[in-house]
Structure 1
């Protein structure tokens, strides 16, 4: 088990390091906690064009987010690990907002528009907007196997990787890594 975890972590480092090395001269080191949980992002056909919705019930697609990096989190109010992770995602959104990276937390709740706003208010979630996945269409196309799952997308619209489970998203090393890895790098 330890060998398997180390091998998967090493493979994730190679995948992400290659992406970072091609984008900038000095590659940024991936934080260990992130490296241990990062997996390749493999999606089903049409995932980039599958809509999810904002609080105004407007359609959004992953493809339409090109130009900014995205930390795309799938969660639900009934999911205890998701609830525990939400404050860190909220702080991450505040930290990355002016650095070219958006944090989008997509609710998998049924009747999300009735459940998420009161949840955000009760938990002082101020930096995340309300998004939801109608009937789990996007999560199925992205290959979400459990909640929480977070997909990392760079500013070019390329899926960089996915994180299964909870992560300390607002750790300084993670914030720095995401800011440098997911944004468009200038030569």
Structure 2
């Protein structure tokens, strides 16, 4: 009896090993084996086989719940599937388990009506059709032979019709060796892609030792944004820069934070405790480089990046009535004397003195809002209407609005408390996001 058991285990192991060895990658023209799949949704527990689709064009749609383009394509592909009836079958296949897939389809209005066979927990198909980019489409002809590997753009009514009518397989093939090799290399190390062809490049990293928490925006000769660099800043600071576009600073009373886990986005302390908080995954380094064509869209691209990097949050600018300190002209004659007579542009500031030469009034407003009056219960807004560059010297306590008002008096300027509808940055939890895991 013991000998029989050993023989049976040896036979099963040999059979299993042999079966595993058969899962070799297939190429165009190969016959796909008649695999049987038991992990299939929407078939009332019935398995499906490759042979079930003989006589039809079979398109295997490799996807995942974290792949937004995959999910966005489902309604279109479902319509194609129905339009061609018994001539076509599009079968989604994913390595993910049943629960996250079912949760996704039950939750999303745009796809919850789709009830077609879907292969889950797949290890077979992704072994014989290896790929590194999703979505990925494998075309199988009516006889079970591999026709093509393509991207989403090739799955069209026109292309399907061509294959049905005259077996025309002139699809734009996905080059599986070329594209995956490029993905393994650094962009600038590629022998094919040249740095001078770069249109834009962005990257993000976590907290980096040795870098001061700050940002800098570089401009080209036409005063367009060429590069944005942010070092060791929190998510709020990233959003403020992206949505403020250097025109709005979003001081404290122009910021609304409505997130459940506030400690992951905001820290009220300072010193070493603040640095420790940053190191705990709460600070980031970001860089954006733009080719000439994209420089008019710098902050739009940065906002898109933040949406991808932090899908758990949603940021938007809304209009609200809030308290402001409006910088106004109280003496036209004195204010007229502010117009610069200098060619050089200079800016100096400290807690006891602010001076600028040949600069816009907006520089005064921005620096006071950002550096010295962050805790003020109202934001500073320029209402002077001054268009020319000015020269200005203020001496006093730059953290005290009353001291600043006194220093402005000789220049015919003053800050007056008012209420006004102004842009406010709202950062909230993104309740509509597609989670990466469920």
Report the TM-score, using the length of structure 2 for normalisation: 0.28
| Higher RCO (Cα < 8 Å, 6 or more apart) | 1
Which of 169, 174, 183 is matched with 2:155 structurally? 169
**Structure with the higher fraction of residues in strand conformation:** 2
Report the TM-score, using the length of structure 1 for normalisation: 0.58
Which of 80, 85, 88 is matched with 1:92 structurally? 80
Unaligned runs of 5+ in 1: 1-40, 183-187
Aligned length: 138
Counterpart secondary structure, 1:86: helix
Larger radius of gyration: 2
Unaligned runs of 5+ in 2: 1-25, 168-438
- What does residue 76 of structure 1 align with? 64
- What does residue 8 of structure 1 align with? none
- Per the TM alignment, residue 66 of structure 1 is displaced from its structure 2 partner at its CA by 1.8
- Per the TM alignment, residue 47 of structure 1 is displaced from its structure 2 partner at its CA by 5.7
- Per the TM alignment, residue 110 of structure 1 is displaced from its structure 2 partner at its CA by 2.4
Distance across 2 between alignment mates of 1:135 and 1:180 = 32
Superposed CA deviations along residues 11-55 of structure 1, whole A, max 9, x for unmatched, are xxxxxxxxxxxxxxxxxxxxxxxxxxxxxx628x99624443322
- What does residue 165 of structure 2 align with? 180
- Per the TM alignment, residue 62 of structure 1 is displaced from its structure 2 partner at its CA by 2.5
- What does residue 106 of structure 1 align with? 93
- Per the TM alignment, residue 73 of structure 1 is displaced from its structure 2 partner at its CA by 0.8
Counterpart secondary structure, 1:104: strand
1:178 and 1:85, CA in 2 relative to 1: closer, same or farther beyond 3 A?
farther
1:91 and 1:136, CA in 2 relative to 1: closer, same or farther beyond 3 A?
same
Distance across 2 between alignment mates of 1:152 and 1:97 = 17
**Structure with the higher fraction of residues in helix conformation:** 1
Distance across 2 between alignment mates of 1:109 and 1:181 = 37
Within 5 Å, give how 1:55-70 maps onto structure 2: 55=41, 56-70=44-58
| Aligned residues of 1:88 and 1:169 also touching (Cα < 8 A) | no
The root-mean-square deviation of aligned C-alpha atoms, in Å, is 3.2
Distance across 1 between alignment mates of 2:126 and 2:146 = 14
- What does residue 119 of structure 2 align with? 132
